[in-house]
Amino acid sequence: MPPVTCDPRSPRDTHPRTRCSIRVGLYQRWPTLRESDHLQTYVASQPGWHIALRSSDYASGGTLKRPGLQRILAAARSGDIDVLVVNHLYSLSRRTQHLAFVLSELTSRGVRVVSAADPALDTETAHGLFLVRVVTAVAEIEQTGAVADRRDRRRHEQLSGDESPLAG
């Protein structure tokens, strides 16, 4: 008897004939072989999980216009995946607004989002969802600070001309 597809958030029966088959999507931005192995090992460690979709991009996390990410969102909309596993949440987006949109798109369609690098970042629980939002807010603050630092450095260079601040 083939495995039955079921809701990944429902309690699973441990009887082998009724074990649920959880369809997993893997997403990587700037994938590496080590990260791919880590994600596959993580999925293999979860009872009833199997990889239904692998998707990746070589693109900035500052945009949602990435073909691999769009494939993941399309799979969620069509009900082809139950869980999305990423190594780090910033693989989905480095912008809080974008990440909130992606998480909303996925969770509103019943797709659970899990970080393999930090399993506490799991949208299945209220605590995990809270941590996801805090981590993304901190990432945006860090990004905003880095942009401001670069802007200030350029402004300082323009005002001081070519003169080095260490020149005598």
Total Cβ atoms within 10 A of residue 84: 25
pLDDT at 15: 41
Q: What residues contact residue 64 under an 8 Å CB cut-off, 6+ apart?
A: 70, 93, 98, 101, 102
pLDDT at 40: 96
* pTM across the whole model: 0.71
Among left, alpha and beta (phi > 0; psi -120 to 50; other), residue 161 is left
Q: Per residue of the chain (168 residues), give pLDDT as tens.
A: 344 445 544 544 444 434 579 999 999 999 999 999 999 999 999 999 999 999 999 998 889 999 999 999 999 999 999 999 999 988 998 887 788 889 889 988 999 999 999 888 899 988 888 887 787 777 778 778 877 888 888 888 888 765 555 555
CATH topology of domain 4-160: Rossmann fold (3.40.50)
Element (H, E) at 34: helix 33-44
Query: What does the domain layout of the chain look like in residue ranges?
Result: 4-160
- Residue showing tokens 């990944």: 8
